[in-house]
Amino acid sequence: MKKIIKNTITTVAALGLLAIAPMTMASDAGHGGDHHATGTTTATPQSTLKKTIEGNNAFMHDHASNHFDAFQAGQVPNLTIITCSDSRVHTQLFGFEPDNNIFAIRNVGNQIENSEGSVDYGIHHLPTKVLLILGHSSCGAVKAAMGDYSGETKGIKAELDPLQPMLAQDNGEGSFNGRWADNVERNVDYQVGKALELYGDKVQAGNLAVVGAVYDFNNLWGKGRGAVVIVNVNGENNPNIIQNHPVLDQLAKSDMITHVGSRVK
């Protein structure tokens, strides 16, 4: 139990660890940040499945049978995370084994509304003490929602529509790319607000911390590629105040500087 509590604290305090490069299953495409791939790939269903199974073989080789002992009968994660479905965003960026540590929820645009039941489960039934809402630079969902997506499928439109209230804060001034990045952060703030509407009683009781952050692999927040930048804690989005927030009181001063920030405040 002490280890679990310690890991929970470490999860918040070590949010800025660089991402571990995943196994390459296709070409290095899509770095322009669009929600459509911009490169080409020679992958086929057969070759992709082959690499998937070979990867699982390597995983089984690297994880002895006793690795799974702790969660044979159930899960005891420390962290509920809601993040984007984007293939560039994965939980290994935190630098520790996600197995039995992270209850992960993914959808386009890291939205509470589109996965409310899953978030409820993590908060009410597991229950984890931290809800991390993790946006990311170059989010295709935010970009799509900023434009005309009327030609998309019914399902995609239904998942992008809930972003529109957040985008009402965008006054249209400045470059598109600058507005895009700012809207990624605005969306994180908006989702934290949604979480507080649902779980504010737990936050008030000290049983839950809602942390909003951006995984920035483009260095748009100026903290370095791969940094997780904390932009909101329990509804507070002023970086100077966040640095003194009790939720972060085990964070080193150097980590405060490199992992707390904002583009829009």
Residues 6+ positions from 62 with CB-CB distance below 8 Å: none
Our count of domains for the chain comes to: 1
CA angle, corner 209, sides to 248 and 86, nearest 5? 95
Mean pLDDT on 163-190: 97
CATH number of the domain residue 56 falls in: 3.40.1050.10
CB 216 within 8 A of CB 225: yes
Q: What is the pLDDT of residues 120-131, one digit of tens each?
A: 999 999 999 999
Residue 205: give the domain boundaries. Answer: 2-27+40-63+73-259
Could you tell me how far CA 141 lies from the centroid of its own chain?
13
What is the pLDDT at residue 40? 64
Mean pLDDT on 49-74: 96
Question: Would residue 32 count as lying in a domain?
Answer: no
CA distances from 156 to 51, 109, 150, 159, 170 (A): 29, 11, 10, 5, 22
Q: Supply 220's token pair.
A: 């748009």
CA distances from 106 to 44, 54, 60, 134, 169 (A): 25, 25, 25, 10, 24
Question: Would residue 264 count as lying in a domain?
Answer: no
Question: Would residue 157 count as lying in a domain?
Answer: yes
CB 184 within 8 A of CB 139: yes
What is the pLDDT at residue 82? 98
Q: What is the pLDDT of residues 216-230, one digit of tens each?
A: 999 999 999 999 999
What is the pLDDT at residue 39? 58
Give the 3-state secondary structure of residue 167.
Answer: helix
pTM summary value: 0.85
Question: Would residue 158 count as lying in a domain?
Answer: yes
What is the pLDDT at residue 41? 72
Band (pLDDT 50/70/90 cuts) for residue 3 is very low
Mean pLDDT on 146-153: 98
φ and ψ of 204, to 5 deg:
-60, -35
What is the pLDDT at residue 85? 97
Question: Would residue 265 count as lying in a domain?
Answer: no
Question: Would residue 126 count as lying in a domain?
Answer: yes
φ and ψ of 130, to 5 deg:
-130, 130
Q: Is the predicted pLDDT of residue 49 greater than 70, yes or no?
A: yes
Question: Would residue 150 count as lying in a domain?
Answer: yes
Band (pLDDT 50/70/90 cuts) for residue 188 is very high
What is the pLDDT at residue 148? 98
Q: What is the pLDDT of residues 158-168, one digit of tens each?
A: 999 999 999 99
Mean pLDDT on 64-73: 95
Question: Would residue 213 count as lying in a domain?
Answer: yes
